Amino acid sequence: MMRLDKYLADMGKGTRQEVKKYIRKGLVTVDGVAVCSPEYKVEPGMEILLDGAPVAYAAQEYYMLYKPAGVVSATEDKRETTVLDLIRDKKRKDLFPVGRLDKDTEGLLLITNDGELAHRLLSPKRHVDKVYYARVDGLVTEATKQAFLEGVNIGSREEPLRTMPARLEILRTGQEGGRPVSHVRLTIREGKFHQVKRMFRSQGMEVLYLKREVMGPLALDESLQPGAYRPLTEEEIKRLKEQ
């Protein structure tokens, strides 16, 4: 049971003050009866209409977003478009991205309000695999592969920061526009700030393009276009929770 104003605000229908006004104006009905007091107690299963439109209850929401380049992994930002701005038909207002991708990184980003799940997926102790496809300025070799497997220093000489063993697959290398470029797939089990870019930088190479393809048991749905999203299936949610 919860207050009607909280129910509507939780479902993203406005601030607590705004929804109180709607209720007092008689715009809200519960099971067919207009209710004008914000503290009226409701529970999931009741039919709640705001201005004639149903307000369905969702305790937890889970979306897979194909994050495009150019948007920031934040819940709000004064200047930039955020990943939350892209989830247009969200019900809840307390959604957040699970971890961050850089503004110029694309790919799989999980959006939810399930704090416990997010915590588990991001916990450094759990070693959840993250798989990235990258295009790198330079020639990635067997030596790079070996270095990543052993762990590289992405800190400084004074304050070293060693990465955990990471698996590097060289997809193809060649000359592009007169310079060597490598296409690779990298699996890391941690998520340090700018980790992939810093790993290649530690080997004297710059990442030109970065896309996350997999996070734990979840792979980016290739039928999604950059900027598009879809709710996770029950099966996907189950697999994530088993991580």
Contacting positions for ligand URA (CB under 6 A): 101-102, 105, 194-197, 210
In angstroms, give the least distance from the CB of 209 to ligand URA. 11
**Closer by beta carbon to ligand URA, 85 or else 190:** 190
* CB neighbour list of residue 185: distance below 8 Å, 6 or more residues apart: 131, 132, 133, 134, 168, 169, 171, 213
Kindly give the pairing relationship between strand 48-50 and strand 96-97. Answer: unpaired
Q: Which of 134, 133, 132, 140 is nearest to 180 (CA)?
A: 140
**Closer by beta carbon to ligand URA, 205 or else 210:** 210
Q: Catalytic residues, which ones? A: 102
Length of the chain: 243
What's the token pair of residue 198? 């810093």
In angstroms, give the least distance from the CB of 195 to ligand URA. 4
In angstroms, give the least distance from the CB of 95 to ligand URA. 19
**Closer by beta carbon to ligand URA, 101 or else 166:** 101
In angstroms, give the least distance from the CB of 219 to ligand URA. 16
- Cα separation, 108 vs 224, in Å, equals 10
* Phi and psi at residue 42, to the nearest 5°: -125, 165
- Cα separation, 123 vs 120, in Å, equals 5
**Closer by beta carbon to ligand URA, 7 or else 132:** 132
